[in-house]
Chains A and B, each alone.
Chain A
Amino acid sequence: MNWTYLINESLKQMLDFAAPILFAALGGVISENSGVVNIALEGIMRFAAFFGVWGAFNSGNPWVGLMWGVLIGALLGAFHAYITVKWAGDQIVSGVAINVIATAMITYFLEWIFKTTGYSPTVAYFGSSKYLVNINFIENIPVLGAFSHLHILIWISLILVFVLHFFLYHTVLGLRIRSVGEYPLAAETLGVDVLKIKWIAVILGSVIAALGGVSLSLGTMSSFTNSMPSGKGFIGLAAMIFGKWTPIGAMLASFLFASAQVLQFLLQAIAKGIAAKIPVGFYLALPYILTIGALVGVVGKAVAPAADGVPYKKEES
């Protein structure tokens, strides 16, 4: 067995699985640090995955698809912010609304635009050799080799973790976002425009989640299927809580989850003897069981930003 190849392929697959979850989790991190819960991540990903394909279908260029995905993410973020920030509406209700609409409307759009049920035609995507980020000279090095032929969205997801870490903890705007999520009244007293900061954080978070949607349909896949994102937004939500509302924590949680997925594939592939008799359902359930196990064993209690989920209302004078 070629170990270098096996390690690199597994790691590559892990990064591939992790990217959409990581984007969703990072989107959640930004939004919730400003105190706005966004359980619409799932719906935003579905919208972005579809419009990404739609954009790439019309133009033949995945970058155009990416732009459409980002645009739709920003629009949905603005929608969520309008309800929850402007009108202090319930954040869970708004999020559920977006999720419900996403499922229904995208199925509708599929039938209306592509005249198909369940899947779109294949389009130009980031996983095709033309758009891959090739770093040939590290190809045969163990571990590093996994990074030799990744698509651009995986790279963006990885870089974004550190950008957002820097942004949240080392910039003024990041500090303001966190202060608004922890103690909005104090922030207001210090002259921070609480509502504006929340608007920015929600839209930014939704755009990042939208990247996750695009990485589903235009990353490794080259089309939209109706089973996208099938819970990846919720898993991202879980990864965000798991990672204690921090970008790096979210990354580690996404990696853990994606590793469990790869482990499941590996186990299934190399299963011999008794292991081959274990029903496939157990393998498929394994990542989720491991996640609960990790929560029980390692992570334990997580503390959300103090004012997370609490709508902020300006005193009316």
Chain B
Amino acid sequence: MKEVFYRIFVKRQEKYWWMNILVPVVSIFIALIVGAIFIASTGRNPFLAYKYLFGSSGLIPGPYFKSHFSEMLIASSMFIATGLAFAIPARAGLFSIGAEGQFIVGAITAAFFGYYKPLANLPTIIHLPIVLLMVIIVGGLWGLIAGYLKAKKGINETIVTIMLNWIAFHLIEGWLVTGPMKADVATGVSGTPYVSPTAKLPIILSGTRLNISILIMLFLVYAVWFLLYRTVFGYELRAMGYTAITNMEAPKIGGVNTEKRIMQIMFISGAIAALGGSFITLGVLFQYPPVFEGGYGFDGIAVALIGGNEPVGILLSGILIGALRTGATSVQLVKIPKTFPAIIEGLIVVFIALHELIRYLLVKAITKKKEGVSV
């Protein structure tokens, strides 16, 4: 299965280098057109749909732009987190579907250390870093389970991460939130208690909910880029990905301690996904709710793929998906179900997958033009 990935890393050496930018942009554009056709075929007005979708996506200035913009960045920071959490192992030839579980593990850890009484009276500058540190440790360890089993026992990381998602989900919803971490019944709160104000992520744009989560993610995008392209660790990680097709024999011969690397990679991946989960507890809901609306982990896979598993690409695709989701609620105003933007997301992924076709058509169109000019 992981043999798939070697292709993703192999950067094409070709004449038209700008194809690598043009192809995703054209893919997004075609996806929007197909989405419009879909909307029209179900008897609704596609122009209205897009007007509402983008009008309240936070990308285009308009009424309530400030709040849409901040909501967009809040959502984007979570998608970027789960996107990176998929991409880092993928670059090493590991296929982890565990971001969903790591995300909720991060959310519940943040909730616990957020309301935990002995910490609640500390100032934010001390309390918040402690909470985030615990999130990183717990989330990282959750990711490490799959990494350890893969490295030491050779057990397929895909199965283990799928199982860990369910284990996390059931232990949290079937035990922690209804048991030891349940809010006091007298307060009338369902789910966990609310976190202390000192654990909330500081707001960076007054009058909105926009908090430092997006700054943390911007830093992390840079850190992951640096890690991948400017460190020995990143070099070895990419080498493992390149040679995944030869069952990691080559980097072993080259002196890479693959076992250690796999465990480190899975720890980092889990920690980043968990950080994304903590943003929802510390910046949006301020508690772990009784029923959690998940999906960020699975959307992270799409984000990573649209972004070509590149940190900067993930930053941009995370913002795009965040914007589509922010605009989602307002399409309901024109009687279009709010899952419509997710259809667009899927269509973008489809045309990303068809990049060979799009590349072929673009190259054909361009070369034809040039010939025409020369004649």
List residues of A whose CB falls within 8 A of some B CB: 32, 37, 83-84, 87-94, 96-105, 107-108, 111-112, 231, 234-235, 237-238, 241-242, 279-285, 288-289, 291-292, 295-296, 299-302, 304, 307-311
Q: Give which listed residue, B159, B175, B337, contacts A107 with CB less than 8 A.
A: B337
Q: Which residues of B contact A234 (CB under 8 A)?
A: 97, 162
Query: What are the residues of chain B within 8 A of A237 when measuring CB–CB?
Result: 158-159, 162
Find A91's partner among B4, B163, B175, B350 (CB 8 Å cutoff). Answer: B4
A-B residue pairs in contact (CB < 8 Å), sample of 19 = A83-B354, A89-B355, A90-B8, A93-B305, A93-B352, A100-B346, A104-B345, A104-B346, A105-B343, A108-B337, A234-B97, A281-B175, A285-B167, A288-B166, A292-B149, A292-B163, A300-B153, A309-B3, A311-B7
Please, what's the 1-or-0 string for B156-182, where 1 marks a CB less than 8 Å from any CB in chain A?
101110111111001111111011000
Decide: B245 and A310 in contact? CB cutoff 8 A.
yes
Q: How large is the interface on B (under 10, 10 to 19, 20 to 34, 35 or more residues)?
A: 35 or more
Cα separation A84 to B353 with both chains bound (whole Å): 8
Q: Does B285 lie at the interface of the complex (its beta carbon under 8 Å from any beta carbon of A)?
A: no
For the complex, what is the distance from the CA of A184 to the CA of B295, rounded to whole Å? 37
Q: Which residues of A contact B95 (CB under 8 A)?
A: 92
Query: How far is the CB of A113 from the nearest CB of chain B, in Å?
Result: 9
Contact of A97 among B163, B164, B245, B346 (CB under 8 A): B346
- In the complex the two chains form, what is the Cα distance from A97 to B303 in whole Å? 11
How many Å from the CB of B65 to the closest CB on chain A?
26
Whether B162 pairs with A231 at a CB distance below 8 angstroms is: yes
Dominant secondary structure at the A interface: helix
Contact between chains at B159 and A242 (CB < 8 Å): yes
Residue-wise, chain B 1-26 has the 8 Å CB interface mask toward A (1 for contact) of: 11111011000000000000000000
Nearest chain B CB to A266 CB, angstrom units: 17
Q: Tell me if B350 and A94 are in contact (CB < 8 A).
A: yes
Add 12 more A-B contacts to A87-B356, A237-B162 (CB < 8 A).
A32-B1, A89-B355, A96-B302, A97-B347, A97-B353, A100-B299, A105-B346, A108-B42, A108-B339, A111-B337, A296-B155, A308-B1
- Residue B207 interfacial (CB < 8 Å): no
**Nearest Cβ in chain B — how far from A298, in angstroms?**
11
Q: Which residues of B contact A242 (CB under 8 A)?
A: 159
Cα separation A54 to B10 with both chains bound (whole Å): 44
**In the complex, what's the smallest C-beta–C-beta distance from A50 to chain B, in angstroms?**
13
A281 lies within 8 A of B350 (CB): no
Checking B171, B172, B342, B353 against A103 with a beta-carbon cut-off of 8 angstroms, the contacting residue is B342
Inter-chain contacts of B174 with A (CB < 8 A)? 279-285
Q: Cβ of A84: which chain B residues have Cβ within 8 Å of it?
A: 353
CB distance from B352 to the nearest CB of A (A): 6
Q: Say if the beta carbon of B118 comes within 8 Å of chain A.
A: no
Inter-chain contact A100/B4, CB cutoff 8 Å: no
Contact of A285 with B159 at beta-carbon distance under 8 Å, contacts A111-B337, A279-B178 already known = no
Residues B354 and A295 in contact, CB atoms below 8 Å apart: no
Contacts of B4 in A (CB 8 A): 37, 90-92, 309-310
Interface residues in B307-355 by Cβ distance below 8 A to A read 337, 339-343, 345-347, 349-350, 352-355
